[in-house]
Amino acid sequence: MRSFKNILVTGGAGFIGSHVVRRLTNKYPETNIVNLDLLTYAGNLENISDIEHSENYAFVKGNICDRDLLINLFKKHNFDAVVHLAAESHVDRSIANPGAFLETNILGTAALLEVAKAHWIHENGAFKNAETGSTNHNLKNVFYHISTDEVYGSLGEEGLFSETTSYDPRSPYSASKASSDHIARAYHHTYGMPIVISNCSNNYGANQFPEKLIPLMIKNICDQKSLPVYGQGLNVRDWLYVEDHANAIDLILHQGASGSTYNIGGLNEWSNIDLVKYLIQVVDEKLQRPKGSSDGLITFVKDRAGHDHRYAIDASKIERELGWKPSETFEVGLEKTVTWYLENSEWLNKVVSGEYEKYYEQHYGK
Ligand code: NAD
Ligand code: DAU
């Protein structure tokens, strides 16, 4: 088991990142956590307001593409690990406007890798023995790149993605994530840099921006607005509770083998239409509405361009090697998620109206 003194987390004001930053800050009080986030529309500091005064936590607003900023942060904090979550993450936005995805997900990841590599070689020496070419298994440092199952493409009715499935990304988002996975892997093979990568399925839980399926549907059922189901709603996704993902990230960071990839999934496949019907049931019940009262809101709309049919994960490697498996049932995880959204309608209204820029200014100045 590795331990770290100073960890750089990127994207820690976003959905998954906020759960990861909270976990690391609270669980490892001896480790300093620096959260670097650009606070795009998808990130806001209220997601992690409960830890903002923790002694071992600091926030920096900035862009992972900004090399000078990265170099200064590495000099100042001497990070021994990077947990890289910052990304443009929404497939529909990548179809409408791929540019930001290419910049942040590819060039931003490349900048982080290069700055971390230079800093660690400067501090600790080369990762590979210059004469023999063998990798020095330097467990002092880890660069952990968080990725997605979408890099593997689309499945038919059968089969699962394993760590050896060939890459076949099909949207600008998944292509940008696949590129960054390849670059990270190339840094391990070429320079011997200690890299771990994980590829996870669809997450759900508190603090997810309401453009993704589950929070969007919860919000619209509450507001009695139409529920836009792409195509016929027959596409299948595997859903994992975000805390289970944060737990897997914690394990991989501290125990994952350098140079390894781990697939993470929920063993929990749902077609979109069945999931939307289930959500209607849960939300209506919570709001004490008569059964079926929101069924008529379902609206089949034009399909997503290039819509991947099915994702499903073989997560046996992480279970075998690190003892991880999902601990939350979908029934309970979804119930908690719906309750969180019902109790945080103010958060919902603020994120959709861009109110959180004001929160940053009040706490950190312009
Ligand atoms: P998110 O969109 O909720 O959050 C992304 C965060 O990154 C935001 O806080 C944003 O401000 C920040 N960010 C964006 N561009 C930045 C930049 N240039 N510099 C610094 N910060 C920047 O994303 P998420 O859903 O929490 O996903 C986090 C990571 O996990 C991503 O890498 C994503 O590809 C991956 N992932 C997500 C899922 C999922 O279901 N959401 C599943 C598997 C993998
Ligand atoms: O698989 C992991 C990926 O899951 C992550 O890498 C991405 O960051 C994350 O956004 C998610 O991608 P998806 O495209 O699967 O998630 P989304 O919530 O956008 O859509 C889930 C499914 O629901 C998908 O088949 C499209 C469909 N959908 C989505 C929306 C927003 C609808 O039918 N209607 C909608 O309004």
Task: State pLDDT tens for residues 229-276.
Answer: 999 999 999 999 999 999 999 999 999 999 999 999 999 999 999 999
Residues forming beta bridges with residue 204, ordered by sequence position: 241
Q: How far is CA 152 from CA 124, 168, 362, in A?
A: 35, 5, 42
The Cα–Cα gap between 252 and 219 comes to 33
pLDDT tens digits along 333-352: 999 999 999 999 999 999 98
Among all bound ligands, the one having the nearest atom to the CA of 274 is 2
The Cα–Cα gap between 229 and 233 comes to 6
- Assess whether pLDDT exceeds 70 at residue 197: yes
Ligand 2 in reach of 304 Cβ (< 6 A): yes
Taking the centre of ligand 1 as the mean of its atom positions, its distance from the CA of residue 351, in whole angstroms, is 15
pLDDT tens digits along 40-87: 999 999 999 999 999 999 999 999 999 999 999 999 999 999 999 999
Confidence (pTM): 0.97
Query: What residue type is assigned to position 162 of the chain?
Result: S
Which residues lie below 8 Å from residue 99, measured CB to CB, with a gap of 6+? none
**Which residue, among 109, 107, 74, 287, has the nearest Cα to 184 in the 3D structure?**
109
Taking the centre of ligand 2 as the mean of its atom positions, its distance from the CA of residue 67, in whole angstroms, is 31
Taking the centre of ligand 1 as the mean of its atom positions, its distance from the CA of residue 11, in whole angstroms, is 6
**Which residue, among 269, 207, 180, 170, has the nearest Cα to 47 in the 3D structure?**
207
How confident is residue 136, by pLDDT bands cut at 50, 70 and 90?
Answer: confident
Phi first, then psi, for residue 82 (nearest 5°) are -125, 130
How many alpha carbons lie under 13 Å from residue 10 in its C-beta half-sphere?
32
Taking the centre of ligand 2 as the mean of its atom positions, its distance from the CA of residue 46, in whole angstroms, is 24
The Cα–Cα gap between 304 and 318 comes to 32
Nearest residue (CA) to ligand 2, atom 21: 213
Nearest residue (CA) to ligand 1, atom 17: 63
User: Which residues are tagged catalytic?
Assistant: 149-150, 173
How confident is residue 128, by pLDDT bands cut at 50, 70 and 90?
Answer: confident
pLDDT tens digits along 5-53: 999 999 999 999 999 999 999 999 999 999 999 999 999 999 999 999 9
Ligand 2 in reach of 201 Cβ (< 6 A): yes
Ligand 1 in reach of 203 Cβ (< 6 A): yes
Among all bound ligands, the one having the nearest atom to the CA of 180 is 1
CB atoms within 10 A of CB 73: 20
Among all bound ligands, the one having the nearest atom to the CA of 238 is 2
pLDDT of residue 359: 59
Taking the centre of ligand 1 as the mean of its atom positions, its distance from the CA of residue 345, in whole angstroms, is 22
Ligand 2 in reach of 88 Cβ (< 6 A): no
Task: Answer for the pair 17, 7: CB distance below 8 angstroms, yes or no.
Answer: no
285-293, long-range: CB < 8 A, 24+ apart: 286/338, 286/339, 286/342, 287/222, 287/342
Ligand 2 in reach of 218 Cβ (< 6 A): no
The Cα–Cα gap between 145 and 138 comes to 17
How confident is residue 356, by pLDDT bands cut at 50, 70 and 90?
Answer: low
CB atoms within 10 A of CB 307: 15
Among all bound ligands, the one having the nearest atom to the CA of 209 is 1
Residues forming beta bridges with residue 32, ordered by sequence position: 6
From 151, 174, 203, 212, the mutation candidate for ligand 2 (largest count of ligand atoms within 8 A of CB) is 212
**Which residue, among 208, 356, 235, 362, has the nearest Cα to 306 in the 3D structure?**
235
User: Does domain 6-207+238-269+309-328 correspond to CATH entry 3.40.50.720?
Assistant: yes
Can you give the residue ranges of every domain in the chain?
6-207+238-269+309-328
How confident is residue 180, by pLDDT bands cut at 50, 70 and 90?
Answer: very high
pLDDT tens digits along 267-317: 999 999 999 999 999 999 999 999 999 999 999 999 999 999 999 999 999
- Mean of per-residue pLDDT scores for the chain: 95
Taking the centre of ligand 2 as the mean of its atom positions, its distance from the CA of residue 224, in whole angstroms, is 21
Q: Which atom of ligand 2 is nearest to the CA of 275?
A: 23
Q: Which atom of ligand 1 is nearest to the CA of 150?
A: 43
Ligand 2 in reach of 150 Cβ (< 6 A): yes
Q: Which atom of ligand 1 is nearest to the CA of 16?
A: 26
